[in-house]
Chain A
Amino acid sequence: MADSKILSEQDKKEIARYLGYGKVKPDPETESLIDIVAEEAISAVEFRRIYISAPVLDCADDASELNAADEPDALGKLEILGKRISSTGLARNLTGCDRCYIIAASLGAECDRLMARYASASMAKAVVLQAVCTQLLETRLNELERELADLPENSGKIFRPRFSPGYGDLDIALQGWILKVLEAPKKIGLSLTQSKMLTPSKSVTAFLGVARADGCPEKGTVFESGCSSCDKKDCAMRQEN
């Protein structure tokens, strides 16, 4: 989807999945609607992202910290850029990583405007746009990962699945810290509302672990990300790894 206005077959499958089709092939009317909406969305939205590379300190070895009264849970203590983060989910995801990228990305305000416009003109287009933009954001983030993978410092490294605040036990309030560290409001126009929602709405903050090639504890380890870290087991969109 990078430089083309045409969706790949894989993109279309994912969009249909977000729309609740599961493995069912959408009817021709819906397929055509997806194409129309995707074309408008791709030309309207502007993907903006910012990231920094940061060392990951595993504090589990730090006995004095472990015994601290205010941090009773010994597992899942990390320190990134001076910030103590307590999350077994993220700690597991970053096992074997001495570094990670902190990423913030957004499809921008234009995406929300288009959504509002569709919502008043055609809800069919609005629900399709919702799915198209979710996929568009995902695709752009995957492209960003490939771009990072090509950097010389990452040669021979393995990326963990992206892990966002709100996944598993990783506090959603960390979004605010990420935005501040990255100066995301200034640099890409991404901010938080009072109730801690990202605006513009099609946006992501995430950690991307960079592991040593031998950093995987054992072959075949499945790292939690996205759906598998979520407690809502009855979700219609759920995908198992």
Chain B
Amino acid sequence: MNFTDLLKKRMVFLDGAMGTLLQEAGLMAGENPEDWNITKPSLIEDIHFEYLSAGADVVYTNTFGATGIKLESEYELEDIVRSAVKNAKKAVTRAGKGFVALSLSSTGKLLKPLGDLGFEEAYESYREVVGIGSKAGADLIVVETMSDTYELKSAVLAAKESDLPVMATVAFDEKGKLLTGADPVAVIALLEGMKVDALGLNCGLDPRKAAPIIDEFLKYSSTPVAIKLNAGLPVQKDGKTVFDISPKEYGALIAQYAAKGVQLVGACCGSTPEHIRELVKACSSLPYVLPVRKNHTLISSYGPGLVVEDHTIIGERINPTGNKALRQSLAEGDFSYAVKEAIAQEEAGAHIIDVNAGLPGIDEKAVVCRLVSDIQRVTPLPLQIDSASADVIEAALRIYNGKAMVNSVNGKEESMERIFPTVAKYGGVVVALTLDEDGIPDDAAGRFLIAKKIVERAKSFGISKKDIVIDPLCMTISAVPTAMKETLAAVKMIKKELGVKTILGVSNISFGLPRRDIINANFYAKALHEGLDFSIINPLSESMRATYNAYRVLSGDKDGLNEYIEIYGSSAALKTGSKPAQSAKTSGAAKSKTAPTSLRECVLKGLISEAAKAAEELLATMTAMDIINTELVPALDEVGEGFEKGSVFLPQLMMSAETAAAAFEILKKTLPAAEDAGKGPVVIATVKGDIHDIGKNIVKVLLENYGFKVVDLGKDVNPEEVARVCVEKEAKLLGLSALMTTTVENMARTIEIVRRKSPATSIMVGGAVLNAKYAKSIDADRYCKDAMESVRYALEIFA
């Protein structure tokens, strides 16, 4: 019988702690436990054997830290992993039973964008171990004690490259979160999406407090659930760590959980073979039940997962079609505008953010992947990857942190054959359009039939109904008078007959009509009351938000009612239609009661909300250029000089800068394109190896204030990339920042390469560990002690 057969038949017993026993046997703090696979093989084998004798079915190899990234050992990784599997297999042979699980855990590094380890590097590192371990004869692979969903995904992907069963368990803290923010729903979404054979939790929190988390797993998981918890809490006693739950107590405690429907049980830190013996004793008479199939649609990012129960809004604004500013910024390789759009949509109440970069002349795959990474750095909302290209979808789905939505597949066989395997591999909730080789049927019944075909075809790829969302496609009402009737009839039919969720791009209905907002809102209201599950809308549109807010009240949603009162109860919020608390968060500076009279004063005091109004008022009597020259620039100069003299401080300088930028946004609309072009470009970057970029970001804001076009390459940028962009943009000025002594050498290397490839570029540098002398020694043209000095130097270069 293999492991998968056993799992179908009865409760599976996993082993207990390895590290704890090794420490008792003399392993020192900081010493590699993995080395003992080679130096003390019989000791390791004996531990495995004792667990098997105590009743364990599965023993984990002593390879917790064995990845090329983490392991610092005098022995080769391959020898360690091979010996580890061999030791476990010998124990299995001795015991005459049992399975060997190749254990993989964290690389000990934080993945990008928070840390500096690339997703593919992590994946390759795990793949190497999986290759060695499976060749050495492991029966299954366990990915354990993971505390970051992104690293978890890379490890599971690598594990799935083998033909072996894969189990994955994570370590929650007392609040039921992973270290990088995911909750049980997010973990289940990710792991079930990737089709692991068992999932669950290990290590981490106090097992006496694990009930709520285990309940979440049992509520949402259709996959067998594993628990392998610590023998209580570590307590320091005379410099030694001991755990406070006895074997008997542990057995009784876990049996309670097992009785609720857990399929695999074992123990983690602080446990001994005795814990496993008691555990087996306490659990073996329990009835064994496999998990029932759950029908929740789960979507996730790095943070808490989303269970789709209520109507879910997908923000549509990151789409270059119909968004000129976004189109322009993406074409220039500037991702900050899109990131701001993501934050704005989140604050306006979107639940998911659509990401589309279908734009001729750009590398869509690279742009979408970069957008996914940049947006996942700043918002916990899940994303919808939206592309007509299956290649783009596959690339983005691979590097996405979590289980994304995918837009879209359709009823054409070619589309389904290409998209479904990708979704089946990486996980995802896929939007399916009701069109096929014969086009879009006119009536609801025709679209229903395509939906039915799609659902059935998806099943053959192992994708269940809960992960499909049908878009019955809304036609334009001015062209097709029955558009609303047929679309909403299809929504109803698909939900009722197929039991799948539905989605619509709401604003298609009004194409070509004046005041589209009126039509959109009315159609939206109707669709909401017909039970539409997802809408793709502009969440910044006041009328759409109002429609949604009203729908929640009218459908009897108590929270919706409370939020409605919160939003519209105060007169100040009347106009915005978003939650007052949210709008307060976005407006940085305090509001003053008496509105200042001049734009200049707004900038000096950093009064952002008043500045736009002041700018608009001035436009009635002055040209934008005059306002810039007589109001904005003098005010900025005054603040800048104050900063240099020490009478104005950094937060004020930044508030003034943002205020000026807000005013400039208003003025820009009336400027001829030529005058709006800006000076520059100035290329800026934080050097390779350095992930602290606040100084560079301050410089960027000020340079933009002074009308410079800034190409921001971000942080941790390769020297070659900096040089390449300087050449491509024919940059007259490059700004580099580095914070640490350990990264200043990369600054020197970057300068050296830029000098060679782009000799006409002047280079300014800044950062905490630099000074003028050092800057000169690494061949920079200018050391700028603060952001204002960067502006002065830029003005000098472009004078």
Contact = CB atoms under 8 A, between A and B. Distances in A.
Say whether A and B bind each other.
Answer: yes
Contact of B590 (A29, A53, A116, A130): A29
A127 B651 contact: yes
B652 A109 contact: no
Contact of A122 (B109, B171, B658, B689): B658
B340 A19 contact: no
Contacts of A92: none
Interface stretch (B88-96, B122-130, B248-256, B692-700): B692-700
A128 interface: yes
Interface string B556-588: 000000000000000000000000000011101
A32 B590 contact: yes
Interface in A1-50: 19-21, 24, 26-30, 32-34, 36, 40, 46, 48
B145 A186 contact: yes
A111 B590 CA distance: 23
A12 B304 CA distance: 32
Interface string A77-89: 0000111000000
A38 to B, nearest CB: 13
Given A113-B378, A122-B658, A180-B30, A186 B106 contact: yes
Contacts of A53: 236, 239
Contacts of B106: 185-186
Interface stretch (A61-69, A191-199, A212-220, A221-229): A191-199
Interface string B124-159: 000000000000000000000101100000000000
B693 A119 contact: yes
Contacts of B741: 172
A120 B343 contact: yes
Interface in A102-132: 108-110, 112-113, 115-117, 119-128, 130
A95 interface: no
A185 to B, nearest CB: 4
A82 B28 contact: yes
A122 B175 CA distance: 30
A194 B690 CA distance: 9
B347 to A, nearest CB: 9
Contacts of B113: 116
Interface in B447-477: none
Contact of B691 (A108, A185, A193): A193
A168 interface: no
B589 A33 contact: yes
A161 interface: no
A116 B177 CA distance: 21
Nearest to A53: B239
Contacts of B588: 33, 36, 122, 124-125
B308 interface: no
B180 interface: yes
Interface in B477-494: none
B742 A119 contact: no
A181 B29 contact: yes
A188 interface: yes
Contacts of A108: 179
A127 B742 contact: no
B343 A19 contact: no
B291 interface: no
**Interface size bracket, A side:** 35 or more
B606 interface: yes
A119 B697 CA distance: 7
B768 to A, nearest CB: 8
B148 A189 contact: yes
A197 B29 contact: no
Contact of A185 (B108, B586, B690, B740): B108
A12 to B, nearest CB: 13
Interface in A171-194: 172, 177, 179-181, 185-186, 188-189, 191-194
B181 interface: yes
A137 B678 CA distance: 41
A96 interface: no
A33 B655 contact: yes
Interface in B637-661: 649-652, 654-655, 657-658
B697 A185 contact: no
A131 to B, nearest CB: 9
A115 to B, nearest CB: 7
Nearest to A29: B589
Contacts of B416: none
A189 B589 contact: no
A200 interface: yes
A88 B469 CA distance: 66
A119 B694 contact: yes
Nearest to A178: B30
Nearest to A110: B181
Interface in B717-768: 740-743, 746
The residue in A195, A196, A200 that gathers the most chain B C-beta atoms within 10 A of its C-beta is A195
Contact of A197 (B697, B701, B740): B740
Given A121-B343, A128-B651, A195-B743, A181 B30 contact: yes
Given A82-B28, A197-B742, A199-B110, A189 B179 contact: yes
Given A40-B585, A195-B689, A189 B147 contact: yes
Q: Which of B113, B179, B585, B654 has the largest count of A CB atoms less than 10 A from its CB? A: B179
Given A130-B694, A188-B179, A81 B29 contact: yes
17 contacts: A20-B650, A28-B590, A32-B590, A46-B173, A48-B173, A83-B30, A109-B114, A109-B181, A117-B379, A119-B693, A119-B694, A121-B340, A124-B658, A172-B741, A172-B742, A191-B115, A195-B746
Given A81-B29, A109-B179, A192-B109, 5 more contacts: A52-B236, A124-B657, A181-B29, A189-B179, A195-B743
